[in-house]
Amino acid sequence: MKPRKELFCVRKIKGFTLVEIAIVLLVFGLVIGGLMGPLQVQLESLDRKATVKEIGLIKESIVGFAIRNGRLPCPDTDSDGAEDMSGSACTQVYGNVPWATLGVGIMDGWKRPFTYRVDTTYADTTDGSGCADDDTAGVSFEICSAGDISVLDSQGGNAVASNLPAIIVSHGKNWAQATGNDEGENTDDDAVFVDKTYASGGSNNYDDIVDWINLNNLIAKMVAAEKLP
């Protein structure tokens, strides 16, 4: 009797062609790209909200410091978090927010330090400097004092605020890489700053977040605390 032959059925499995794989990858890329755009916008919005909140805390701490010490804090110029003074005045009028001195957060939403400028007559230890009124003992400024910082709506544009004693700046996601004249105005160490609507992309890009110590509010808080008459 002849041995039985085993019959084998070989099924041919058809795989994806290179064209099909390329189409799948293309569709996948488009889907991911479509999701990344809104996600990046949402993350940017969260970073900006966190930064605005932190600046608010910094402003409150600066006013509290003034009530306790009779002056505004000096900038941190050596990145150790402490204000820097030389004798009776600030070492420099421009630097980082002295976060350790104030007990506030170090970084903005993009993990970069806040910069800070102060009118030195508000931050020195000389009573009533920069004002003709009778000096109030232990207070660096008077009700008649006016700050030297101003804010415009664009470089060389219209005034947004003036006579400010101090200002805080977050330079946004593109920190230290100003893409236009308006952002450049916030990095040139002078007393003029720009605050305008957020604009993303192109030569008109502006993502700085700028806020300041309101002089009238500061004076009112000092009077309420009986630090000024």
Q: Residues 3-20: pLDDT tens digits?
A: 555 544 555 555 667 776
171 C-beta neighbours (distance < 10 Å), count = 22
pLDDT at 1: 53
> Running DSSP on this structure, what letter comes out for residue 6?
P
pLDDT at 178: 56
pLDDT at 226: 94
The answer to whether 123 touches 74, Cβ cutoff 8 Å, is: yes
- 5, part of any domain: no
The answer to whether 141 touches 148, Cβ cutoff 8 Å, is: no
179-195 average pLDDT score: 90
Higher pLDDT among residues 197 and 15, named by residue: 197
Three-state DSSP class for residue 153: coil
Query: How far, in Å, CA of 91 to CA of 164, rounded?
Result: 19
Count structural domains, the chain: 1
> Running DSSP on this structure, what letter comes out for residue 16?
-
* Token pair in block for residue 205: 């890009």
Three-state DSSP class for residue 135: coil
DSSP string, 43-105: HHHHHHHHHHHHHHHHHHHHHHHHHHHSSPPPPBSSSSSS--EETTEES-SEEE--HHHHT--
> Running DSSP on this structure, what letter comes out for residue 199?
B
Query: How far, in Å, CA of 20 to CA of 205, rounded?
Result: 41
Instruction: Express each pLDDT in 103-114 by its tens digit.
Output: 999 999 999 999
- 46, part of any domain: yes
Nearest to residue 52, comparing CAs of 93, 96, 101, 110? 110
Beta-strand relationship, 192-194 and 166-170: unpaired
Task: Print the domain residue range for 115.
Answer: 18-224
12 C-beta neighbours (distance < 10 Å), count = 4
- 11, part of any domain: no
**pLDDT exceeds 80 at position 31:** no
- 51, part of any domain: yes
- 209, part of any domain: yes
- 115, part of any domain: yes
- 229, part of any domain: no
Nearest to residue 56, comparing CAs of 114, 120, 121? 114
> Phi/psi of residue 94, each to 5°?
-125, 135
| Confidence tier at 181 by pLDDT (50, 70, 90) | confident
Beta-strand relationship, 192-194 and 149-152: parallel
* Token pair in block for residue 37: 């755009």
Query: How far, in Å, CA of 145 to CA of 181, rounded?
Result: 30
- 177, part of any domain: yes
Please tell me whether the overall predicted TM-score, pTM, comes out greater than 0.75 for this model. yes
